[in-house]
Amino acid sequence: MARKFFVGGNFKMNGTLSSIKDIVENLNKAQLDSNVETVIAPPALYLLLVRELAKKEIGVAAQNVFDKPNGAFTGEISVSQLKDSGIDWTILGHSERRTLLAESDETVASKTKYATDNGVSVIWCCGESLEQREAGKTLDVIAAQLAALKSKNPDWSKIVIAYEPIWAIGTGKVATTEQAQEVHASIREWLVKNVSQAVADETRILYGGSVSEKNCKDLSKEKDIDGFLVGGASLKPAFVDIINCNL
């Protein structure tokens, strides 16, 4: 079965009541490609608002979730609270949380396991720094991140992988289509060897890193690129063009 193209929009720590209402209204009015799964991730404060306003075809994701049940964990959000609010997705392992908040491969894997076991799907992020790429360690870094995830035995059917080269996030630098395809193919090959052929065939692998309406068409043509995780461009009207890049 063909993998359904997937476009996620990560708003990060951006937006106001007014601007987020405008973004959702723009998406609701647009003719979005029905062959694309669209999921948007507003800041936690606006999750309920977005879920109430967005048409049901648009998925809504948290930008983080904790790996414990409800309890004495100040500032965190639980999986059951997301489900109670109609939120079916979360982003985990984004490089900004790995670097700024020191989330380890183990922490990200534990959160992913807990979320998928309890009914929330995960956009699981991986990627290398510029220093690691220049040292030729890209595939080693990503393999280590994947190995930590595999060690937890998560529900792979609830995971979408997002490859995000850290050096290309918000910098305007974009991996060439060839660079992106090479890493995506290596991730799929890792899944074949270490998980199963079925998981490798079915798991969608997204590219993230300064994706725009200008480069999305070329990237989408690569055989192992199954969609995008979009940052800054998801706050703009051009996000619709990215969703519809295959029309």
Of 96, 103, 164, 213, which one is the catalytic site residue? 164
162 strand-pairing partners: 125, 206
- Among candidate residues 94, 103, 128, 184, the one labeled active-site is 94
Distance between CA 20 and CA 11 in Å, rounded? Answer: 9
C-alpha–C-alpha distance, residues 126 and 110, integer Å: 15
Q: What is the DSSP letter of 172?
A: S
Q: Enter the tokens of residue 43.
A: 């800041």
Neighbours of 151 (CB within 10 A): 13
Helices and strands (H and E) in the chain: how many: 11, 8
For the question of residue 94 being annotated catalytic, the response is: yes
Q: How far apart are CA 134 and CA 120, in angstroms?
A: 36
Q: Is residue 43 within 8 Å of residue 15, measured between CB atoms?
A: yes
Catalytic residues: 94, 164
